[in-house]
Amino acid sequence: MSESKQTRLLFVDDDHNVLNGLRRMLYAMKGQWKMEFVHKASDALKVMETTPYDVVVSDLRMPDMDGIQFLETVREAYPDTIRFMLSGYMDKALQTQAAQCVHQFISKPCDAEQLKVLVTRALALYDRLRSGNVTKILSRIESLPVMPDVYQEVIDMFHRPSCSLRQIGQAIAKDVGMSSKILQVVNTAFYGQETKIIDPVHAVSYLGQKAAEALIITSGVFGMLSNKKIKQFSVMGLQEHCIRVGTLAREICKIHDLDEQEQETATMAGILHDAGKMVLILHFADELVEAIARSKQGTQPMHVIEHDMLGVTHGELGGCLLDLWGLPNSIIEAVTYHHQPSHCVNQEFSVISAVHIADAIDREYCCEVGWGYPEMLDMEYLNQLGIADKIQTWRRLHLPDLEEEPAHARA
Ligand SMILES: [Fe+2]
Ligand SMILES: [Fe+2]
């Protein structure tokens, strides 16, 4: 591999022993990776002025500038650089605070293999999101949707360790538009609620942090679509579908023994998985209407037709949007690959699998306006993971009274 094709990584840590350890541990990668090691964030920023880096890996606690400040600066100045945080000390509050500037957290100590896998996965994901086709489509859009201020303020509260869910609920309650949207969606999309939720504070504590945050994000953007009505497409139906997918993806992770953090990630990724459809509604409404018609007439799901027509899928567009909004890798990955989980470098059961399964199962039973031919489960992928025999279990998680398979799945 020529030097220009090598992946460039920059490691920043004030602890000489840590940097020496990383240097030794990653010695075998020097054919593929061009690595630089610096002790200060300010030195790292100087180096970056003259050399572009694909990935930066930063410590959290450093004397001159801490890791969060450093990665925030990198995010602003070099948005295409992938940002990892490697830290021995990372409590939930700090993680929440750093979430918007960090693509991927890694806890110390980590081994070479683990780091190699995470870097390879992240590079593959961002290569896809910055491919020629995606860039071409994005260049036809003046700008991707920006979160309305009032929503952004509430989202920022989720990242402030001093804010409780109760305070966040109270802030939502102050905005009539935001609270009515949240309550409408919570009450229509969730199963098993005996009484209607009428208080945003209750809604937020009922949903939990990640689900509530994802719901605010989607409500903010879905709100922008209110004057973009497409009669062939139900925005409310899509929003309800997204929440059901978030709920089911979490349940699927639980029965497959993924930990609590991954379950939360699955909820958030599920709620956000079709965010790319908002980009289609806002900027490619004519193409969307044509894709719906073509999908309904034939047996091709929407993402295949979108790829035919635009060269990208709503999965990739959603991935780009969420990258712009500073969401972590794990969410962007699940959103980007939700219809094509086999395209991901990671081929173990993960949040990506859970979101793919939850989406396909919800689509089997719930057909709203504007969805064309159902998106199907990728059976080859499920067979490879050795979990294809669990389909009925997952369907029952979604619809406990289920007696029959959906008609098209029996065929
Ligand atoms: Fe989708
Ligand atoms: Fe979907």
**Confidence at 408, pLDDT banded by 50, 70, 90:** low
CA of 315 to the centre of ligand 1 (A): 6
Tokens, residue 258: 């993924």
Q: What is the pLDDT of residue 2?
A: 41
CA of 273 to the centre of ligand 2 (A): 6
Q: What is the pLDDT of residue 197?
A: 84
- Looking at residues 188-193, what average pLDDT do you find? 59
Percent of residues, the chain, with pLDDT higher than 70: 91
Closest by Cα among 241, 230, 229 to 366: 241
- Looking at residues 145-169, what average pLDDT do you find? 84
Query: Would you say residue 403 has pLDDT above 70?
Result: no
- Helix H or strand E segment including 105: strand 104-107
The DSSP secondary-structure symbol of 195 reads S
CA distance 218 to 147: 10
More confident residue, 85 or 149: 85
CA of 10 to the centre of ligand 2 (A): 37
CA of 358 to the centre of ligand 2 (A): 9
Measured CA distances, 65 to 71, 79, 315 (Å): 10, 19, 36
CA of 198 to the centre of ligand 1 (A): 30
CA distance 150 to 245: 26
Q: What is the pLDDT of residue 295?
A: 86
Helix (H, G, I), strand (E, B) or coil at 261: helix
CA of 22 to the centre of ligand 2 (A): 41
Q: In CATH, what number does 149-410 get?
A: 1.10.3210.10
CA of 179 to the centre of ligand 2 (A): 24
- Helix H or strand E segment including 42: helix 41-50
Tokens, residue 267: 């909820």
**Confidence at 193, pLDDT banded by 50, 70, 90:** low
CATH topology of domain 3-130: Rossmann fold (3.40.50)
Residue found by looking up tokens 């635009």 in the block: 310
**Confidence at 64, pLDDT banded by 50, 70, 90:** confident
CB count in 10 Å sphere of residue 16: 10
Taken in order 66, 70, 75, 76, is the CA torsion positive or negative? positive
**What residue segments make up the domains of the chain, in order of their start?**
3-130, 149-410
CA of 314 to the centre of ligand 1 (A): 7
CA of 105 to the centre of ligand 2 (A): 27
CA of 341 to the centre of ligand 2 (A): 13
CA of 32 to the centre of ligand 2 (A): 37
CA of 274 to the centre of ligand 1 (A): 5
CA distance 247 to 242: 9
The ligand with the least distance to the CA atom of 319 is 1
Query: Would you say residue 174 has pLDDT above 80?
Result: yes
- Looking at residues 115-128, what average pLDDT do you find? 90
CA distance 364 to 376: 8
CA of 115 to the centre of ligand 2 (A): 31
CA of 319 to the centre of ligand 2 (A): 14
The mean pLDDT value of the chain amounts to 86
More confident residue, 404 or 39: 39
> pLDDT (tens digit, 9 = 90+) per residue, 221-251?
777 776 667 777 788 788 888 888 998 999 9
Q: What is the pLDDT of residue 411?
A: 39
CA of 277 to the centre of ligand 1 (A): 8
Closest by Cα among 299, 304, 343, 336 to 320: 336
